[in-house]
Structure 1
Amino acid sequence: MAAPVKAGKTLPAATISTTTPAFGRKTFFLVLILMSLTTSDSKPSDVESLLKFKQSINDSSGVLSSWDPSKLPCFGSQNNWVGLICSRGGNVYGIKLENMGLSGKIDVDSLLDLSRLRAVSVMHNNFGGSMPEIKKLRALKAVFLSYNYFEGKIDDNAFEGLKRLRKLHLAHNKFSGEIPASLTGLGKLVELRLEENEFEGKIPEFKQTSFKEFNVSSNELEGPIPKGLAKIEPDAFAGNKALCGEPLNPCTPSTPDHQNSTPISSSSPRQHKSTAVVAAMIAAVVVAVAVAVLAILLTLRMKRPQKESNGAHPPSSFPLQVAVVSGRDRHDEGSHHNNGNARNKGGNGKLCFIREDRDTFSLPDLLRASAEILGSGCFGSSYKVNLTDGAMAVVKRFKKMNNVGREEFQEHMRRIGRLSHPNLLPLVAYYFRKEEKLLVSDFVQKGSLAGHLHGNHSRGQSTLNWPTRLKIIKGVARGLEYLHKELPALIAPHGHLKSSNVLLNESFEPILNDYALIPVINQESAQELMVAYKSPEYINTGRINRKTDVWALGILIIEAITGEFPANYLQSGADQGDLTGWVNAISEKCQSTSAIDENMGETATRNSEGEIRKLLGIGLACCESNVDERLDIKEACERIEEVKEREDDDDEEFESSRGLSEDFDDETKRRANMQSFSS
């Protein structure tokens, strides 16, 4: 008697024979039916939802004839109905109805019961009407409505609640009105295509800093481009005649915030001439007043050095003045008037500006500004300075760079200044003296990651939940990978990665600080103080290598997940100067008890423990003492990007920088992605 066939197993081809008895053939087909029922999770409700959706569509050419209620939409990852993307579990993951000549209305309500639906694309069709209420589908990750006939204003709150939305393409329609402000609150949005519409008004202040695709060209937008979008290619803003600011032409005083916001009445040439004469008179008066004020300021400035030499410094800026003026001769202070040359040449007692996108200020201006000390690090003190224009800057004082020459230092600062990445703190300016150096950067609002992980939470310092910590680790990894790509000549392109050197902006995006300093720090000080020289390879061989930064990344991951402060281990009198013992202790703790920081929240930990432990495992793999077994930077970043917020979110992530529509078309890649997410 033949052994019974278990459901879910594939029968070998040899067992199918033309001579199989009738009873055997019936049994075989019964088994196939049972297999189809046990391997497919498509629900009858999916059929009802999709058929209801189909009823709202005008399918004159019959391209959706395969939407047959007699068969399920999905069989595992195979789609039985055209235009569907199915997950491995047999759920409808995506709807892709492109270039099918369809028209009608997108009935969002009919799709509400498709609990696993994550992507909708109806590009290159004839759909019209107002913007579909996609915010009802809160789990959507990608929406493609480009190349249709949608029109009208989009409600300002049209995208509220779409916390997972990553890609939104609305290009080549007839949408009008202002760009909805609710788009700015979508923290995961990386692609936004709004070109070739009729949007008007200002571009809202987007909080996102890592757009892979952004395009608002060929609309009717006006006013200054938000600073957060200044690094995007100019083509993304072309065709909006009233837009100004980087990356387009600078805004001028005559550039209106809202072009034609005040109606221009018809008037005679005589009236225009009279208006021009009055404007010229007003301008002349303004110029005369400005010249008088400037003369007074210059007179006061000429008298000031004598008073300052007697020690009459404003008390608020006293700490920073002591740091610089005490070792600076008077000739340096008086040389600030040639500040424009300092931007390019540098040195000679001037502040040397690296960034071209901000206003300059002189060293005396910096010293006279109100300042407060932020803290004292291993290289020196940091000061928060309130400049006269209301801007805030951070000045870091370095004393352990006196072995580096002026030209070498300036060349390295220019090299750092050329770096540009959302997760790097850009260098604004520097000041060179043999005895000490100043590095000036922008102030970052939320402080350091170390402060949030280990600060006094009872005094208002917020704790970080799991999604925020994952977001921070991913941003750190991206910034670190960028450094390794752009600074191939440096053995450890960061060299000093730790939680106190990871700053957080208002949206808790991580900003790496104190990077690429090994070439200019005195070697003996670097070996004593910098993180790279705490690594196992340096302890064992006296050398660091390209994987040393990966080790530091691993330490940071472990710290972020466990809440354990590695500095406490070194201060506890541990036998080794490196952190190998700390990593081993964490690894042992993971095996016996939970090492996850309870401050992440019980709910997040319960729903995401598998993903949290996955990231912790990546951190431990980055900390392998044997460098040959340690992950390299590329592999570490790839594995970190695969970590999700929730362990039950096994849907396919559309992370590729290619368009999601192309991902739909690439069946082989889609299957590979699906397999990796289900593993």
Structure 2
Amino acid sequence: MAFLIDKPLFLLLFLTVSSMHFVVCSGLTDSEILIKFKGSLSNASALDNWSDMTNPCKGDISNWNGVICHKGFVIGLQLEGMGLTGKIDVQTLIGLSVLRSLSFMNNGFDGPFPELKKLKSLRSIFLSKNHFSGAIPDDAFEGMFKLKKVLLAENEFTGAIPSSLAALPKLIVLRLEGNKFTGKLPKFSATNFASFNVSNNELDGPIPATFSKMDFKSFSGNKGLCGQPVNECNTPNTSTSISTTSNTSNSNSNSESTSKKPSMVCIIVVGIAMAVALAAIVVAALILLQSLKRTSEESIEAPPLPSDLKKKTRSKEADRSAQGSPSEHSSNGRKKADMAKLSFIRDDGERFDLSDLLKASAEILGSGCFGLSYKAALSTGPVMVVKRFKQMNNVGKEEFHEHMRRIGRLSHPNLLPLVAYYYRKEEKLLVTDYIEKGSLAVHLHGHQALGQPSMDWPTRLKIVKGVAKGLSYLSKELPSITAAHGHLKSSNILLNQSNEPLLTDYGLIPVINQENAQELMVAYKSPEYLQLGRITKKTDVWSLGILILELIIGKLPPNFLPQGKETEGEDLASWVNAIPQEQRKNQVIDKKISGIKNSEGEILKLLKIGMSCCEGEVEKRLDLKEAIERINKLKEKDSDEDFFSSYASEEDMKKGMCDDFAIS
């Protein structure tokens, strides 16, 4: 017998059940699911505080070891280095409907690869440093389209790399080193990897062309791999067959000749082989010497943990670099030590070297357009941020040093100063101070996750004025750079404790590879570049205008989001332009700052300035000086005269009430 339920009632029932933290498919609470999952594990003393007497989550705070929470839900399990064994009960974990990340690294799990494809919502899988073995089924990652990070390093996996893994469209981190994978390296759908390593396996065949610019260490230890960046693939030579002519009258002489000819061929082949082997030994020796020289130049390779499982951890690669670096007490130790030194910009701060950063506890802050950023806490106390740049390999060493010194001479209250830098042909490191409060983007769009109130109007105005001052200084001090900042956006603006903005990633256009800059930098998303293929002195003004709209509207600019993100709608300026001016007060201003008594007039003035900065035609766009002058005239509150004369309708002026302009 079938029961009919109308749609509104069904939705009400569904939402009610969801809000009670019950999972429809299993009927169990998160705590019951986790306790059942714990039962499948052995040696689980580290999870003794998992008890049905408490809830695993209270808001964003976890009450249970290794559980990551968000708004009362379990979104991740970070059970690392706990000595766990047994079976990973995937079927039970299906009940955690919002599970995003699983990390079982550095435990004692063994056996075949778990059936994790049942957890379709996973973004991150971390199984490195266990004893998993056997071939991974070819469809093991089928349907996991949201998966971004996979760490399977240092296990005992065999067989081919699954084609379903290579087909993941959003994959940005893949670590398979230290296994026994065989066969050819597949062609991956994703190409913009932040970290990729298949070294020390048993792979063979050509490396796909999309990996040709990667570090060769990502492929080392696979004797059968060839192609860039390892070496060229050699085409086998066709051998010439030796034929003998049969003749009955001189069969003896023919048989003698045929018995001698193969021996001569063998001698020639052996001779060639010995020559090739000798040449290979010489080449290997040269490569080894070069490798020793470059050991101290290795970049920081902190474990690519997901941002939602932020945990201080030491990088295995960093440990290797620190432990395996040549001794400074060797005959050429002084030269190698000099190679590993950072180039410091300022003289007033504490000095440290690359090995100090490699030894520091590291935490990934995020994966930006250029690469990963790390928070490194030095043993002596200071906390630094290290940014890796791989899109600067076209710039020469002297040119790079000169430009960094030029950047280092800049000094302004609204610029985050460069502390030090490190040059290597394949990538560069830029070191700055760590700013505890984080970026404007986080505080503007992620305040709820941080448990903070939304940003008020006086703070937003203060930030705009500070950004304008920083841009003005950059344009004066870097007149030869077309767009002195070039990469202005809310995630590149940090806030100090008094909410004063600090600009970062400025002045990089001269050293960024142009083929990459067009994909990554904000300046190259401007109307003039999209229409005319060039940037201008007013390009930074356009970026400032977009930032102003973002602050007023409270929405992220869709065209600034990383490639591959699902975005809806047009850019902010076009969206505002499509709304009649008389309706913008009600439809455009962020409701968190709208309706503020005696402030709407100034907010609308700033909106007008922002739109003037976003003019598609460069000639009609405000220049930076005029934009800054207009911004500096803005106040936190309106004067009655300015408010009514500029924005009130005739009827509102008769009423004489500012409250009529409140947005409901």
TM norm structure 2: 0.46
The TM-score normalised by the length of structure 1 is: 0.45
